[in-house]
């Protein structure tokens, strides 16, 4: 079966930076709903369109095609007393601008006696990424998956 709109695609992948450092490499295949459902990077989806099981590719993506450029305005220094006593570097909190509907996940990057530094950028923001993958399975999406806009079941979303 060829990869077409409304098919479920399973693949093994490795995400690395330009130096070859592996940023992400799951142990099991991932699955996504193909055809503009935002389940995978659009450039990867375009490369995989009309391909079949066994197809392998490597897609080089600039930050604007993945997690965006690094935005220094998303790094904040906040008062320590706004955070729980057990705060540690790496913890994450949801936050945003007052009066705005935009929410960001902020990661604690530094803790001082009276201040905490948090960063709302995605960890891969500003990084050119290479997405290497091999298609392991292709099947038609179920009516429920199409209605929900994402994959269900093995390797996919569970309700």
- Based on the domain organization, do 44 and 113 belong to the same domain? no
Tens-place pLDDT, residues 107-137: 999 999 899 999 999 999 999 999 999 999 9
What is the pTM assigned to this prediction? Answer: 0.82
Tens-place pLDDT, residues 16-72: 999 999 999 999 999 999 999 999 999 999 999 999 999 999 999 999 999 999 999
Per-position b or e across 13-31, b if 16+ CB within 10 A of its CB = bebbeeeeeeeeeeeebbb
The residue with greater pLDDT, 159 or 34, is 34
pLDDT of residue 89: 96
Rg of the chain, C-alpha, whole Å: 19
- Based on the domain organization, do 22 and 97 belong to the same domain? no
- Based on the domain organization, do 29 and 62 belong to the same domain? yes
In the predicted structure, residue 145 carries a pLDDT above the cut 50? yes
- Based on the domain organization, do 39 and 24 belong to the same domain? yes
pLDDT of residue 159: 47
pLDDT of residue 12: 98
- Based on the domain organization, do 115 and 131 belong to the same domain? no
- Based on the domain organization, do 31 and 109 belong to the same domain? no
- Tell me the C-alpha distance between 93 and 107, whole Å: 7
The residue with greater pLDDT, 8 or 104, is 8
Residue 113's region, left for phi above 0, alpha for psi from -120 to 50, else beta, is alpha
Pair 128, 18: CB distance under 8 Å: yes
- Based on the domain organization, do 19 and 55 belong to the same domain? yes
Residue 159 falls within a domain, yes or no? no
- Based on the domain organization, do 60 and 18 belong to the same domain? yes
In the predicted structure, residue 157 carries a pLDDT above the cut 60? no
The domain that contains 88 carries what CATH number? 2.40.10.330
In the predicted structure, residue 94 carries a pLDDT above the cut 60? yes
Instruction: Compute how many other C-beta atoms are within 10 angstroms of the C-beta atom of residue 135.
Output: 20
Residue 53 falls within a domain, yes or no? yes
- Based on the domain organization, do 137 and 60 belong to the same domain? yes
- Based on the domain organization, do 13 and 82 belong to the same domain? no
Domain of residue 57 covers: 7-66+126-148
* Domain total of the chain: 2
């Amino acid at each position: 079966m060829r990869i077409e709109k409304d098919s479920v695609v399973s693949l093994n992948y490795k995400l690395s930076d330009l130096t070859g450092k592996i940023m992400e490499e799951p142990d099991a295949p991932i699955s996504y709903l193909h055809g503009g459902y935002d389940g995978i990077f659009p450039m990867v989806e375009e490369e995989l369109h009309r391909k079949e099981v066994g197809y392998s590719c490597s897609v080089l993506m600039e930050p604007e095609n993945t997690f965006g450029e690094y935005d220094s305005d998303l790094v904040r220094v906040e008062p320590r007393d706004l955070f729980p006593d057990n705060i540690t570097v790496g913890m994450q909190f949801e936050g945003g601008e007052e009066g705005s509907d935009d929410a960001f996940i902020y990661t604690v990057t530094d803790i001082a006696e009276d201040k905490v530094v948090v960063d709302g950028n995605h960890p891969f923001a500003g990084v050119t990424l290479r997405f290497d993958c091999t298609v392991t399975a292709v099947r038609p999406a179920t009516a429920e998956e199409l209605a929900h806009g994402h994959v269900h079941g093995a390797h996919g979303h569970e309700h």
